[in-house]
Amino acid sequence: MSRIQQTFAQLKTQQRKALIPYITAGDPAPQYTVGLMHALVAAGADIIELGVPFSDPMADGPVIQKACERALKHGTTSRDIFKMVAAFREQNQHTPVVLMGYLNPIEAIGYGAFVDEAAQAGVDGVLVVDLPPEEGVEFAALLKAQDLDAIFLLAPTTTRERAAKICAAGSGYLYYVSLKGVTGSAQVDVAAVEAKLKDFADLTELPLAVGFGIRDGQTAAALASVSDGVIVGSALVSRIAELADRPEEIAPVISGVLAEMRQALDA
């Protein structure tokens, strides 16, 4: 069983939902990322989504775009990120880490090298925003050969027919994008998410996690009640932005935000 499968299996026996924070690796500067990952785990994270910064992150709103800019200003590369994950793994062998990014930086080092080095570092899954399963057959095969999960996105515009293909190609969990828009958008329609997830439910045995637009415990709990877990990005990253020049304050502040969501999910 992969570390991601184990995590969802354990949550299921505990009747709990997954809480999956996203931060961009190297934001506000590379030396803080590993500490922030440990802080997120202490605050209740079940899985960590670690963003690989990219100069043109088309699916991201301004909050995560700027996080990418801060990380890139410090020259954060994929190889730096593998080192961060390896350092995290020295103290944590338990919490899955999913790398989340765009194709361009992966192509820059080559699919094979990226996957091998990710596996070596202790990465558990990879989500490539601009690599749909139809185009990602080769990449997915490389992931599989290293026992890494291939996480794919489902969206409100995804038809059932296409969802079936995406579900068949994915492993670990599926990421349902709660709304039409970019990361950091405001309004989530819980009833609409519920209806769509019900429509997809018989297509897969994989857990379905929901992300986009979750800013507080109440929304997190509402979406968790219709899914297997929630992903939270901009609500954390906006705090990192505010504290970028007081970096020692970031861990306690984002831990507080995440802990409130944990409490709401477990209530």
CA 97, chain centre distance (Å): 8
Write down the least CB distance from residue 212 to ligand IGP, Å.
4
Task: Select the residue whose beta carbon is closest to ligand IGP and give its number.
Answer: 233
Minimum CB distance to ligand IGP smaller for 118 or for 209: 209
Q: Which of 27, 46, 60, 149 is catalytic?
A: 60
DSSP reduced 3-state for 14: coil
CB of 90 to ligand IGP, least distance (A): 25
Q: Which residues, including other chains, have CB under 8 Å from residue 107's CB and lie 6 or more apart?
A: none
CA angle 242, 60, 206 (to 5 degrees): 115
Tokens standing for residue 228? 């297997």
- Phi/psi at 101 (5° precision): -165, -165
Please give the backbone phi and psi of residue 4, each rounded to the nearest 5 degrees, phi first: -70, -45
Contact 227, 197 (CB under 8 A): yes
Peptide bond before 132: cis, by omega within 30 degrees of 0? Answer: no
For residues 122 and 94, what is the distance between their CA atoms, to the nearest angstrom? Answer: 10
For ligand IGP, the closer of residues 107 and 202 by Cβ is 107
Q: CA–CA separation, 163 vs 167, rounded Å?
A: 6
Minimum distance from CB of 124 to ligand IGP (Å)? Answer: 15
Both tokens of 98, joined, read 């999913």
Q: Nearest distance from residue 266's CB to ligand IGP, in Å?
A: 20
Site residues, ligand IGP (CB under 6 A): 22, 49, 51, 59-60, 64, 100, 129, 183-184, 211-214, 231-235
Q: For the residues of 106-158, what is the DSSP string, one character each?
A: HHHH-HHHHHHHHHHHT--EEEETT--TTT-HHHHHHHHHTT-EE-EEE-TT-
**Which CB sits closer to ligand IGP, 135 or 202?**
135
**49 a catalytic residue:** yes
Residue closer to ligand IGP, measured from CB, 59 or 164 = 59
The residue length of the chain stands at: 267
Q: Which of 27, 46, 49, 149 is catalytic?
A: 49
If the CB atoms of residues 227 and 234 are measured against ligand IGP, the closer one turns out to be 234
Looking at the Cβ atoms of 27 and 117, the one nearer to ligand IGP is 27
Nearest distance in Å: CB 214, ligand IGP: 5
- Among residues 28, 129, 30, the alpha carbon closest in space to that of 69 is found at 28
Q: How far is the CB of 49 from ligand IGP (least distance, A)?
A: 5
Residues tagged active-site: 49, 60
